[in-house]
Amino acid sequence: MPAKGKQHAIWLASKSSSSPAKGKAPAAVPALDGKAGRLPSKAPSRLEEGICILCGGEKKGFPAKKDLAISAARKMRSLLKMEERRTIACERCLPTCLAKRAKFEHEKRNYIIVAGVFVLTVVAGGFYFKRLEGWLAVPALLGAAIILLLPYGKYFPSFEISERK
Query: Does the model's pTM come out above 0.75?
Result: no
Determine, yes or no, domain membership for 73.
Answer: yes
Determine, yes or no, domain membership for 114.
Answer: yes
Residue ranges in the chain modelled with pLDDT below 50: 1-2, 5-31, 35-39, 41-44, 164-165
Give residue 84's pLDDT: 85
Determine, yes or no, domain membership for 161.
Answer: no
Residue 61's CB: how many other CB atoms inside 10 A?
Answer: 28
Determine, yes or no, domain membership for 95.
Answer: yes
Determine, yes or no, domain membership for 132.
Answer: yes
What DSSP string runs through 34-85? TTT-S--SS-B---EEEEETTT--EEEEEEBP--HHHHHHHHHHHHTTPPP-
Give residue 45's pLDDT: 55
Give residue 46's pLDDT: 76
User: CA-based diameter of the chain, in Å?
Assistant: 77
Give residue 136's pLDDT: 83
Determine, yes or no, domain membership for 160.
Answer: no
What DSSP string runs through 75-141? HHHHHTTPPP--EEEETTTHHHHHHHHHHHHHHHHHHHHHHHHHHHHHHHHHHHTT---GGGHHHHH
Q: How many residues does the chain have?
A: 165
Determine, yes or no, domain membership for 162.
Answer: no
Evaluate whether 125 touches 143 at the Cβ level (below 8 Å). Answer: no
The residue type of 61 is: G
Please tell me the total count of domains within the chain. 1
Determine, yes or no, domain membership for 61.
Answer: yes
Structural domain containing residue 117: 3-154
Give residue 107's pLDDT: 96
